[in-house]
Structure formats: C-alpha cells, structure tokens
Amino acid sequence: MPDTHQDDFFADDLPPPNSGAGKARSKETKPLGEATGTARSPQRSEVTLTPQAAQHAPLAAQLPPQLRMGVSTWSYPGWEGLVWDGGYDKSLLAKKGLTAYHQHPLLRTVCVDRTFWRPLTASQYAVFAAQVDADFRFVVKCPAGITDAQVRSEEGMPRELNPAFLDPRLAVEHFVQPTLEGLGNKLGVLVFQLSPLPWGLLSQPTRVLDKLGLLLAHVRQALVNHPQVIVAVEVRDPELLSPSFAQTLKEHGATYCLGLHGKMPPIEAQLPILRALWPGPLVCRWNLNRIFGAYGYADAQKKHEPFNEIRSEDMHTRELLARTIAGITGAGQNAFVTISNDAEGCAPRSIALLAEAVANQTQKYHDSNKL
C-alpha cells in the first residue's frame, strides 16, 4: 500500500497544512520505491543489468523504432535475473536502478510515478537523466496536488475541494518547468491523470473541460520550444470519455492516455477517443488488471508478490494493445507504453510478451500493405 506520510505540495502556494489543502492524495497509485523483497546484498553500491537481458535483443530489433515500452516504477528486487544481475536492496534500485534498467533492449522508457505524490526538483530529475543514455525518454506524472479535485485524508478519503485543481500556474511552475530543466531532451511525455471527480464536478463536465483546456493552453505555451514532448490526459471517470473531451484535447495539442485500469472500461471501449484524435501518438499506461476491480491494488500486490512471474495473464488486453501499437506506429506515429506489475504480475515479463505480439502484428501490418 502507499506510504501514509507525504510532504505538503507547493507549501508557498497553497493554504497552510492545518487546512489539509496541501496534502491531496489518492490510493490509486504507489510511490516510487514501493516494493517487497529481501535485500541480500545491501552493501552493493551499483546496479548492473542481468546478462539474461541480451536474449531480448533480436526481438527488440523487430519492433517499430517509434515504440517505447517500459515499466511504472523500477525498484523491485523480484526482477533479479529479469532486469537485475543479482539481489539488490529496493532503496538502491530506486536510486541507481536506471543505470542497469535503460540498457535492457526492450526498456526504452519509464514512468516516474513518484511525482504524483510530491513534486520533484529539476536537480532530482537531472539525477535520473544522468543514469540513462541519450535515446531514453521519461514519462512523468503531474502531482495529484494539481490533478485531484479533492483534498484527501491520509487514508485517501476526500475531505474538501482542492483550490489548486487544474491550476495552470502551478502546473507550469512546479511540474513542466522542472521536468524540462532536469530531463532536457530525455523528457518524452507529461501525463495529467485526473483522479476520480466528485459528483458536483462530474455532473458539470463543461466546467471541468474548460479548466482542463485552460491548463493545457498554458502547458503548451510552456512547451513552445519543445514540440517533441507529448502532453497526455488520463482519467478515472468513464463519463468523461466524450466527443467534447476529445475536442478539448485536440484543440490544445494534447492526446488521451489510454488508461487500462479497473476503474475504466476495457481497452476496446476507450479506443474511440484515440480514433477521434487521429492522427496522433499513443500513450498507454497498463496499470491494473480488471479482475481485481476498481480498488484492487492491495489484492493485486498480494497475489503478484514478488513480481517475478505472470500470475494474472490478460491476453485479451495484450492482443488488442499490440494491434493498436502496430497500427499507430505503422502510420509513423510515436507510441509510449508503460506497464505495472499489477497488470499481470511481472511488468518485465508482460513487456516481453507484448513485444512478441507487437512484432507479429507489425509483420502482418507490413504484409497487408504490400498487397
């Protein structure tokens, strides 16, 4: 489960801690570094890639160059022999795991989930950037202090409306600018995940979309010299998946983040939004297997620990996602896909299986175009 203590967001910009407005949070995602496993070599100071990763090089060569796959958080000791060459303490993996991770042939991106709980500084982003090569790209989530309409208790329960919800100035100053400064050309995607909305807002979608449009306009202006950075919006309310939502994204040069999660409809029900935005890139976060329901992270973790094997296979999602990736990249568009352990039990194994499916679909796509 997520840590129960988080520092205040934007202490200089929000009401004092007593009001609770500086501690917006949700139980939907887990902070960076949350994992289980026994550290067998805590004295080790560096992390290296397992030699077993080399077996994936031929498969990686069959994938579209526009495709980048990766995990959401990387500090899992259970990936020994899959990503890591030995047993490492999860704190060491959180700090230095990217030095090994980015060398894996199939892992060309990563989602930094930690930022959902607390903003990072440019210098903290720079530490991540220094651990990877020039071809690597980061997917980064905007802090919940901006994208959650409610201030939440330590247990994740809503307490009051968040005055900073979709605040354009805070989004630029505390999210966009630090990521650009710290990650530079290695920044690939900025994700704005809207947490579940209270009924008062959900029943007024125009009000929400107006606020979202204003934020996206400011974000796009801040990125005027960085057109390669993708801006994606993910939601947790199926009611928002409307033509008006797609139009708002399109007007401001943003895309929809395909959110594969228990709170959302299956992948086939979300694809119409991508079609409405076509042509454009794919951003997908495969977060939680639907068999666990909308609030099933704890159950998923209990079943999947230590996250080293597939225990909840979802071939339906994998095959549809592979077809989507092949079609989008086949048309020359970029695709960023990140996968959580909570999707099938082991993110690196899920990525390898998805890569095989994409390679097959890509070959079919090319063959059909030759006819």
Secondary structure E strands in the chain: 67-72, 109-112, 137-141, 150-152, 158-161, 187-194, 230-235, 255-260, 282-286, 335-339
| 144 vs 13, higher pLDDT | 144
Tokens at 137, concatenated: 């790209």
pLDDT band at 154 (very low <50, low <70, confident <90, very high): confident
pLDDT digits (tens, 9 = 90+) for 15-33: 332 333 333 333 333 332 3
pLDDT, position 153: 77
**Is a pLDDT exceeding 50 seen at residue 142?**
yes
> DSSP letter at 285?
E
Closest CA to 205 of 176, 177, 175, 239: 239
List beta partners, residue 196: none
How buried is residue 117: exposed, middle or buried, by Cβ count under 10 Å (0-12/13-18/19+)?
buried
> DSSP letter at 278?
-
pLDDT band at 45 (very low <50, low <70, confident <90, very high): confident
Domain ranges of the chain: 20-370
Mean pLDDT of 312-323: 98
CA angle, 111 then 142 then 345, to 5°: 35
**Is a pLDDT exceeding 80 seen at residue 212?**
yes
Cβ neighbours for 177, distance < 8 A, ≥ 6 positions apart: 122, 222
Which amino acid appears at position 60 of this protein?
A
**Cβ neighbours around 230 below 10 Å, total:** 23
pLDDT digits (tens, 9 = 90+) for 250-262: 999 999 999 999 9
pLDDT, position 184: 97
Which run of H or of E encompasses 351? helix 347-370
**Is a pLDDT exceeding 70 seen at residue 284?**
yes
Cβ neighbours for 158, distance < 8 A, ≥ 6 positions apart: 150, 151, 152, 198
Q: What is the DSSP string of 10-50?
A: STTTS--GGGSTT----SSS--TT------S-TT-----B-
pLDDT, position 7: 33
CA angle, 102 then 107 then 108, to 5°: 75
Per cent of the chain over pLDDT 70 is 88
Which of the residue ranges 38-52, 100-114, 202-216, 230-244 would you say has the lowest mean pLDDT?
Answer: 38-52
pLDDT, position 159: 82
**Is a pLDDT exceeding 50 seen at residue 49?**
yes
> DSSP letter at 117?
T
Q: For 202, list phi and psi in degrees, rounded to 5.
A: -65, -30
pLDDT band at 365 (very low <50, low <70, confident <90, very high): confident
pLDDT digits (tens, 9 = 90+) for 330-341: 999 999 999 999
**Is a pLDDT exceeding 60 seen at residue 39?**
no
Q: What is the DSSP string of 149-181?
A: SEEE-TTS-EEEE-TTTT-HHHHIIIIIHHHHH
CA dihedral 88, 91, 96, 100 (to 10 degrees): 40
pLDDT, position 27: 33
Mean pLDDT of 158-165: 90
Tokens at 81, concatenated: 């022999």
**Is a pLDDT exceeding 50 seen at residue 37?**
no
pLDDT, position 370: 67
Cβ neighbours for 93, distance < 8 A, ≥ 6 positions apart: 33, 35, 47, 74, 75, 76, 77, 84
**Is a pLDDT exceeding 60 seen at residue 10?**
no
Give the C-alpha separation, 332 to 352, whole Å.
22
Average pLDDT, the chain: 88
Coil/strand/helix, residue 198: coil
Mean pLDDT of 345-366: 94
pLDDT, position 189: 98
pTM: 0.87
Which own/partner contact pairs does 165-173 have at CB distance under 8 Å and 24+ positions apart?
A: 165/211, 166/211, 166/212, 166/214, 166/215, 167/215, 168/214, 168/215, 168/217, 168/218, 168/219, 169/218, 170/10, 170/13, 170/145, 170/146, 171/142, 171/146, 171/215, 171/218, 171/219, 172/218, 172/219, 172/222
**Is a pLDDT exceeding 90 seen at residue 368?**
no
Give the C-alpha separation, 138 to 113, whole Å.
11
Report the top-level CATH class of 20-370. alpha beta
pLDDT band at 371 (very low <50, low <70, confident <90, very high): low
Mean pLDDT of 274-281: 97
pLDDT, position 6: 30
Q: Within the chain, what is the greatest distance between any pair of CA atoms?
A: 67
Tokens at 143, concatenated: 């802090």
pLDDT band at 162 (very low <50, low <70, confident <90, very high): very high
pLDDT, position 155: 72
pLDDT band at 14 (very low <50, low <70, confident <90, very high): very low
